[in-house]
Structure 1
């Protein structure tokens, strides 16, 4: 019976493979260590005791990076999975896939992307808060109060139209997805208010003019009355002055002469009546 160490050597030889029995540039086949093919080639015939390994190039649509037995089929970047080819397959390396435009990768590996999804579309009433990338989705946000966006994937929200500031009437209030609808002011109040305001201004203007004219007439009347009184007072003063001033000599002589004229006949008449 074999000792334990001999059993261990036997088992080691039994499970000997490429990694342990052959060099790093060889592969194990049919009890022989055959040379590998160059990258981009595959084995056409294995080596024998007398011949080396026979190789041939990989066919289109396949590759071999290490020169092993068989070429590997190239990866196909399927648009149905949201993928496109970022790097074409060649004899020594596989194709590299990436997300289509407006897509982002949801499953990735060392070779590239295996599955991608389309970026979210920001619906009307929202705006793009952050644009999507190859690895992240688009972020959307609701339009704030008194703003709106009526298109998909809008980069910003627009303020509602202020109808009163334009002299118009708001017919329909705006929402986060639509603007305010304005129209002409055709209601009775909108028509009467300007007319009444204008009439009020005109009435106030006329009233002010009448008040000013009335004051002017009153002033004129007062002035005339004062003037009349002054004239009367002046005449009265003149009359008193005339009465109070001394008579001159000529006037006195005239009066004396007139008196003498009327006195003499009277005396003569009296003498006659008293005679014999």
Structure 2
């Protein structure tokens, strides 16, 4: 009967709750914070050894090695909320100004930095270790000129202060006010500067036009001079030819007279 029972009974399930089955024996488990150094035998009990630094064992066990502690990586936005001990693993949490985006029963596995509310917005709701910061745009006639402002400030009302508004406010800057004297002091140099610039540009354009006109006149005079020189050169070349023709005509006349005289004789 006992033999049949052993055939149908897995010895691993027949061991006690504080035992583990190995090599045909039900060995006593090691306590939390320890691991098996040597398994029990028919004649000896289980030999246990404490977990080394950086490892832990949270439950009674029959394992030969402890479990490696979790490392909270700052590169993942994590810090160690609870250090690892021989009987418990480390617990990770988000770094300061971070919130957890992936969590499990053991703690946070991944975190991200809280959003920074840019100028022109304000912090509607501060971030926590589980939620991100919520930002909201500044409403009309309000502004924030710094990052992560807790609230938006109203624009300065120049008219109510008896001043002239020089620059209207935006969602990132306040209105700029000035007295009328200040306004005149600002506008006069601007107008004078614009006038001087216009005059300077006009003078440059006039000088360029005059220079271009002088260049055209000079070119025309140079062309006329070249033409006169060419005419004079042709006259000089033609003059000797006319003289040669005159001499030839005189010689021909002399020859005719001589012929006539010879005929008379």
TM-score (norm 1): 0.61
Aligned to 2:79: 84
| Whole-angstrom CA distance in 2 between matches of 1:159 and 1:66 | 62
* 1:1-276 to 2 correspondences below 5 Å: 13=9, 16=10, 18=12, 20-68=13-61, 69=63, 70-186=65-181
CA distance in 1, matches of 2:123, 2:58: 44
Report the Cα distance in structure 1 between the residues aligned to 2:109 and 2:11, rounded to whole angstroms. Answer: 33
Q: Distance in 2 between matches of 1:17 and 1:92?
A: 29
Q: State the alpha-carbon separation in 2 of the partners of residues 80 and 24 from structure 1.
A: 42
May I ask how many residue pairs the two structures share in their alignment?
178
Secondary structure at 2:160 match in 1: helix
Q: Structure 1 residue 33: deviation in Å? A: 1.2
Match of 1:252 in 2: none
Distance 2:15 2:163 in 1: 92
CA-CA distance at 1:17 after TM superposition:
6.5
Unpaired segments ≥5 residues, structure 1: 1-5, 189-276
Distance 1:185 1:161 in 2: 17
Q: Distance in 1 between matches of 2:18 and 2:96?
A: 42
In structure 2, C-alpha distance between the alignment counterparts of 1:77 and 1:28, rounded to whole Å: 35
SS in 2 for 1:140: strand
Q: Which runs of 4+ in 1 moved over 6 A?
A: none
| Unaligned residue ranges in structure 2 (runs of 5+) | 185-265
Structure 1 SS opposite 2:40: coil
* TM-score with structure 2 setting the length: 0.63
Structure with bigger gyration radius = 1
CA RMSD of aligned residues (A): 1.9
